[in-house]
Chains A and B, each alone.
Chain A
Amino acid sequence: MTDAYRNPCQKISVLQHAPSAHLPTRPGDPTPTSRNLDPLQHPFARARERMRALNAAKMERIFAKPFVAALEGHVDAVETMARKPDSLDMVASGSWDGGLILHDISRRTKVLHVENAHKGKVTGICFADSDRLLSCGVDRNIKLWSIRPSEEDMDEDRAGPSTSRKPLKVFPGKSAFNSIDHHRSDPLFATASNMVQIWDETKSAAISNLTFPTSTETINAVRFNLSESSVLASIGSDRTFTLYDIRTGKAERRIVMQMQSNSLAWSPTFPTTILLASEDHNLYTFDIRALKTPTQIYKAHVAAVMSCDWAPTGTELVSGSWDRTVRVWREGAGTQPEVYHTKRMQRVMATLYTADARFVLSGSDDGNVRIWKAHASEKLGVVTARERAAIEYRESLKQRWKMDKEVDRVQRSRHIPRPVYKASQLKRTMLEARRVKEEHRRKHTRAGETKPKAARKKIVIAEQT
């Protein structure tokens, strides 16, 4: 800007931009940018931002390719999976054919493959410590395995099948086992058969039997609490969920629910929260301080939920179902989970989060263990700082415009298999008809005769202590 005062009583200045301020000083320098936040300089700012949000939502759907890999090896359905406590990449899986595989999921190889670990199916696996593995099966045996590569494996270039491997120890039981879990610190483990049994690793017989006095059930699963390690939870075929304390050796509490549960998992971050995968297509989280009502119902599956697991962060859940889908839930959000499926994946019997919470594993009837991303559109690999900034900007745009109809529609849309879609439609219709019928019935009976009952209150039938 130059001012020249040729005439003292007139003042003229004319706008001019100094190129030096707006051009890079040396070749290769970044071009200087200037900002003017006056809204007049930014027409249609809102409409353009909405467009950007819509594009961000679409991009998320475009890049939602969750499937990473399938780990083969089992001949029959994968029944159970467990992750090694102190590693990110070791996962053991047991199958109906009696096989036991230790997968290295980052290299996608088998570290250990025991083909006939049990006669009949392997029903439970857990790690005793970092190099020993416990498995139980319907052959009434519990076996303790070493996962250290043995001498004959060392000769081969890669750890292949080692059928000749012998268990370190065999614990014989009286009935078929359904599940096993190891104590967090002590050399104790619990098994589920027609009762809950506590075993010592050093003794060959169970050291105690835990049953609720009046039960004649089959126990489906048993899990130690992660924080208070003497607390044990089990689910049984008579629709019960029972809590035991192994120090008192007694069953502490029990609830009877409408339907049987298939799987349970303790929350890793909140020690009193437990997740149950139920036969009635739902998952429930309970706070064991108030077992009367679940804290949240997770509704989306259209068949029995067979397995569930928490993310190690405690903010997400994964569940696998008889309807051949895996769903990833946010904790506390009971609807609209992420849904994973492929054409070849059959009934999902086992699901697991990896220890870094970035991947989800599913074991299904077709004998494969599949690796999925926990966030479907997440980019694997190195993310540069600019890319990270762009991703974060897109996330906040989506968050800001989620109320917009179009953006919301794009964000909600998921492809699901036609049978699942049809089943969910049918289920919705039936449930709604049931509700309407209930309402009509109430309308035509004496006022105040029956009161509508909240869905959460219907689940637990009885609570026993």
Chain B
Amino acid sequence: MDALIAKADAIRPVTKKRRIHQNESQKKSGTSRPGPSDDRTLGSVSLHTALPKSLRPTSPPPENVPKYGHIQDKKLRAQLTRQSTQSARSKALVKDAELLLTEEAGLMEVEGDVEKTWRIGQNEIVQAAGQEAAQGRKEWKLDGGPYRSRYTRNGRHLAIVGRKGHVATFDWQTGTMHAELQLRETCRDITFLHDHSHFAVAQQKYVYIYDRDGVELHQLKSHIEPTRLEFLPYHWLLASVGNAGYLKYQDTSTGQLLVEHRTKLGAPSAMTQNAHNAVIHLGHANGTVTLWTPNLPHPAVRLLAHLGPVASVSVDPSTAGRYMSTAGQDGLVKVWDCRNWKGAVRTWNARGGGGEVEWSQRGALAVASGGSVNVYTKPSIQTPLAATVSPPLYLTHPIPHRPLTSLRFCPFHDVLTVGHNAGLSSIIVPGSGEPNFDSAEADPFENKRARREREVKGLLDKIQPDMIALDPEFVGSLAPEPKLTTAVGGEPDVPFARLPRLERLRVQGKADEKEDGDEGLVDDDDDDDEAAKKRPTKEEKEKKKMRGKNKTLKRYLRKQRKNVIDPRALAVRAKLEKQREERRKARAAAAGHAEDRKPSALDRFGRSAP
């Protein structure tokens, strides 16, 4: 019996904290680590249970990993540390993986100030381009225009639709035609569904879905008089907007009409999707742009963008949807910052008015207005500038067949397809396409099996439509704390036994309210103190929220917040400032240290000489 206990003490479970024999364990910790010869069992086991050398992490553990010292539970602490170490390490490894990006983006550069890139015409570019790349320059002369077009997500297939009902889908690289239809009614838009095997056409009365060979599969009767179509590939939603101003979402995997939103703003003139959060942007005839998600019955954002109808909207995919550009019938092109809607980042006049805009994968902005297509590149179009000056032009191409009705960049290629009255023309825009595709997402070279595989995987990974929100990163983040708690000031009216676990811990004072790694990142103490001083506690925030004198005046000011200098608003602002100053003085007086006044002229009449 004693032998058993003595043996067991030698291999006590690490996780179990035992208070018995505490002195012994302390003694043990003081000595050096027991060698493998101390315990034969342990020695023999550790040989075979250690991680093999090939699997051991070679790089040193990353720095700035939070330590989680405040967590009592050893197991949990070790797990959290391991997780954050691993995520830090994987972040570092992602940087290393950039080495694997073999292909280089296209580019167009000139030397000297006199030379301009926009002077280089398509002929020169085609001559300079390789044989494969030169295929991107094409002219399709077609009747029944104006035409609109759409690429698949891998950029391999193109669908075109003419106003008079000519529909065709084809592999534009090999020139293989999939389907060609003469629908003999007005067709307003076309989009591929998840891949080139299905496409939807917005026709005279309804939306129709065709398969790759052009066989009509579905007539979506609930989409009446559609004008624009968008397909959200990760949610399998077909969104359409019609003349009546209804935005409708149809789930193409289950076939049910998910939701319809009444925009109440008339027939939308423009529609696009933000590929990074699946929010639909609509441009309306009264100049507003609205952002929609399926789970909100009203727009998530409403923005007065133009003084006339909005002609076109596009979202920048190269910055994860941070920038949006709009073109209006008032002849202006504007670039907006989607995180801060106060005024456009950049505005300029597009000659001709009423243009189309489109961002490429690498952030080139194409603007079609009047009789030409202009392409602008990245840093200049996103730097704020108050003046309405056009940014430096990167490339321009005249197209005589007005109107230019659609612009589409081909994914993973330097190709821009312009739809116009006499068909379509593809031009080469060097540097517009992303050079390195990920074959798990979109592969231009995928074969039949891979396409099928992707279809099934896509269906399995289909995201529920109610997950669409302006911030797509909310998934997996901590939920905000519920407002209603049963414990009020640590005095629960519910018996302790019936409280949920978190509140029990809170009552006991054991709850760990800190965010993970909060204190791990702050290393020295004085810094921590300062941070604590600066950051108001939750109660303080609650107290200061919407308190103070003259709430009405402030509200008035808030409503007047615009770039117009209004004398009344100025007066109110001055008054508020004065009041604030008075309050500050009063506080200072109350605190004791008297204000040392400025010397005034009347001081000379005072009793004591200054």
Instruction: Please list the residues of chain A having a beta carbon within 8 angstroms of any beta carbon in chain B.
Output: 1-4, 6-7, 9-19, 21-23, 31, 33-44, 46-48, 50-52, 55, 225, 227-228, 231, 243, 245, 252, 270-272, 287-290, 295, 332, 401, 404, 432, 435-436, 438-440
Cβ contact within 8 Å between A1 and B104: yes
Q: Which of B182-190, B219-227, B376-384, B439-447 contacts A (4 or more CB under 8 A)?
A: B439-447
Contact partner of A17 among B18, B103, B107, B125, CB < 8 A? B103
Are A41 and B108 in contact (CB-based, < 8 A)?
A: no
Contact B125 A12 (CB under 8 A): yes
Contacts A12-B129, A22-B443, A289-B18 supplied; 4 other A-B pairs, CB < 8 Å:
A12-B128, A14-B106, A436-B497, A436-B498
User: In the complex the two chains form, is A227's CB within 8 Å of B433's CB?
Assistant: no
Query: Please, which residues of chain B bring their CB within 8 A of the CB of A6?
Result: 124, 127-128
Contacts of B431 on A, CB cut-off 8 Å? 15
Out of A14, A43, A440, name the residue touching B234 (CB < 8 Å): A43
CB distance from A308 to the nearest CB of B (A): 20
B residues near A39, Cβ cutoff 8 Å:
320
- The answer on a CB contact under 8 Å between B4 and A225 is yes
Q: Are the CB atoms of A50 and B5 closer together than 8 Å?
A: no
B-side contacts of A439, CB under 8 Å: 495-497
Residue of B nearest to A8 (CB): B111
Note all chain B residues with C-beta closer than 8 A to A332: 15
B434 to chain A: which residues have CB within 8 Å? Answer: 36, 41
Closest 8 CB pairs of A and B: A228-B4, A435-B497, A2-B130, A16-B133, A14-B129, A14-B133, A12-B128, A272-B8
Residues on A with C-beta less than 8 A from B439 are 31, 33-35
- Complex Cα spacing A15 to B410, Å: 12
- Provide the B103-137 mask, 1 if CB < 8 A to any CB of A, else 0: 11111111110010100100011011110111010
User: Can you give 27 A-B contacts (C-beta < 8 A)?
Assistant: A1-B106, A1-B130, A2-B129, A4-B128, A4-B129, A9-B111, A10-B110, A10-B120, A14-B130, A15-B105, A16-B130, A19-B445, A31-B446, A35-B440, A36-B437, A37-B94, A43-B276, A46-B475, A225-B4, A228-B1, A231-B1, A245-B1, A272-B8, A287-B16, A288-B4, A288-B5, A439-B495
**Do B476 and A41 have beta carbons less than 8 Å apart?**
no
| Residue contact A290 to B133, C-beta cutoff 8 Å | no
Indicate if the CB atoms of A228 and B430 lie closer than 8 Å.
no
Q: Is B435 an interface residue (CB 8 A)?
A: yes
CB B91 to nearest CB in A, in angstroms, measures 11
Residue in B3, B130, B136, B445 whose CB lies within 8 Å of A228: B3
Taking the closest CB of chain A, its distance from the CB of B195, in whole angstroms, is 16
Proximity string of chain B (268-279) to chain A, C-beta cutoff 8 Å, 1 when within and 0 when not: 000000011010
What residues of A have a CB within 8 angstroms of the CB of B97 in the complex? 35, 37
- Are the CB atoms of A272 and B4 closer together than 8 Å? yes
What CA separation (Å) do A21 and B445 show in the bound complex?
10
Enumerate chain B residues within 8 angstroms of A435, measured Cβ to Cβ: 495, 497
From residue B127, how far is it (CB to closest CB) to chain A in Å? 6
Q: Which residues of B contact A16 (CB under 8 A)?
A: 129-130, 132-133, 413
- Chain B residues near A22 (CB-CB < 8 A): 443-445
Tell me the B274-300 residues at the A interface (CB within 8 Å): 275-276, 278
Assuming the contacts A12-B124, A31-B445, A31-B450, asked whether A295 and B16 have C-beta atoms less than 8 A apart, the reply is yes
Across the interface, do A13 and B430 meet the contact criterion of CB distance under 8 Å?
Answer: yes
Within 8 A of A (CB), among B555-604: none
**B139 interface residue per 8 A CB criterion:** no
**With an 8 A cutoff between CB atoms, is B463 at the interface?**
yes
- Contacts A43-B234, A243-B1; A34 near B436 (Cβ below 8 A): yes
The closest CB in chain B to the CB of A54 belongs to: B464
- B463 x A44 contact (CB < 8 A): yes
- Interface presence of B438 (CB below 8 A): yes
Neighbouring A residues of B234 by C-beta, 8 Å: 43-44, 47-48
CB <8 Å contact, A52 and B461: yes
Q: Which of B4, B111, B440 contacts A271 (CB 8 A)?
A: B4
Set of chain A residues within 8 Å of B120, measured between Cβ atoms: 10, 12
Compute how far the CA of A41 lies from the CA of B438 in the bound complex, rounded to whole angstroms: 7
Q: A42-B438, A289-B8 are in contact. Are A14 and B476 (CB under 8 A)?
A: no
A436 near B495 with CB under 8 A, answer yes
Q: Let me know if B515 is at the binding interface, CB within 8 A.
A: no
Q: A6-B128, A9-B112, A46-B473 are in contact. Are A17 and B444 (CB under 8 A)?
A: yes
Most buried by B among A44, A48, A231: A44
The answer, yes or no, to whether B472 is at the interface (CB within 8 Å) is: yes
User: What is the interface size of chain B, counting residues whose CB is below 8 A from a CB of the partner?
Assistant: 84
Would you call B231 an interface residue if the criterion is a C-beta within 8 Å of the partner chain's C-beta atoms? no
Across the interface, which residues of B come within 8 angstroms of A271, CB to CB? 4, 7-8
B114, chain A: closest CB distance, angstroms: 9
Interface centre among B3, B97, B438 (most CB of A within 10 A): B438
CA A29 – CA B62 in complex, angstroms?
39
From B3, B8, B106, B476, give the contact of A50 (CB < 8 A).
B476
A13 lies within 8 A of B461 (CB) = no
A1→B433 CA distance, assembly (Å): 13
B204 at the interface (CB under 8 A from A): no
Q: Which residue of A lies closest to B98 (CB)?
A: A37
Q: Report whether B20 and A289 are in contact in the complex, using a CB–CB cutoff of 8 Å.
A: yes
The residue in chain A whose Cβ has the minimal distance to the Cβ of B444 is A17
A36's partner among B101, B132, B320, B444 (CB-CB below 8 A) is B101
B100 contacts chain A at the CB level, 8 A cutoff: yes
**B147 at interface, CB cutoff 8 A:** no
A252: nearest chain-B partner, CB-CB = B1
Question: Do A14 and B136 have beta carbons less than 8 Å apart?
Answer: yes
Chain B min CB distance to A300 (Å)? 18
Any A CB within 8 A of the CB of B462: yes
Across-interface contacts of A440 in B (CB, < 8 A): 495
| In contact, A17 and B460 (Cβ under 8 angstroms) | no
Do B107 and A13 touch (CB < 8 A)? Answer: yes
Does B428 interact with chain A (Cβ within 8 Å)? Answer: yes
Bound together, the chains give a CA A16 to CA B133 distance in angstroms of: 5
Instruction: Evaluate contact between B8 and A55: CB separation under 8 angstroms.
Output: no
Contact digits for B2-14, partner A, Cβ 8 Å, 1 yes 0 no: 0111011101010
Given contacts A2-B129, A31-B447, contact A14 B436 (CB under 8 A): no
Residue from A17, A33, A432 within 8 A of B132 (CB atoms): A17
Q: Contact at A14–B428, with CB atoms within 8 Å?
A: yes
Taken together as a complex, chains A and B put the C-alpha atoms of A4 and B3 apart, in Å, by 85
* Distance of A50 Cα from B100 Cα, bound (Å): 27
Expressed in whole angstroms, the Cα–Cα distance for A12 and B105 within the complex equals 11
Contact flag A51-B462 (CB < 8 Å), given A10-B120, A17-B132, A289-B20: yes
Residue from the set A6, A7, A47 with the largest chain B CB neighbour count within 10 Å = A47
In the complex, the chain B residue whose C-beta lies closest to that of A401 is B476
In the bound complex, what is the Cα–Cα distance between A318 and B109 (angstroms)? 73
Write out the residue numbers on chain A whose beta carbons fall within 8 Å of the beta carbon of B475: 46-47, 50
Listed residue (B1, B7, B436, B438) with the most chain A CB atoms within 10 angstroms of its CB:
B1
Nearest to A452 among chain B residues (CB) is B496
B2 → chain A closest CB, angstroms: 9
Which residue of chain B lies nearest to A290 when distances are taken between CB atoms in the complex? B20
Are A432 and B463 closer than 8 Å at their CB atoms?
Answer: no
- Complex alpha-carbon distance, A386 and B440, angstroms: 17
Contacts of A272 in B (CB 8 A): 4-5, 8
Complex: A55 Cα to B456 Cα, angstroms: 13
Contacts of B7 in A (CB 8 A): 227-228, 271
How many whole Å from B587's CB to the nearest CB in chain A? 43
Known contacts A10-B111, A40-B318, A47-B472; is-contact A289 B9 (Cβ 8 Å): yes
Chain A contacts of B94 at CB under 8 A?
37
The CA-CA distance from A12 to B134 in the complex, in Å, is 12
Q: Is the CB of B128 within 8 A of A13?
A: yes
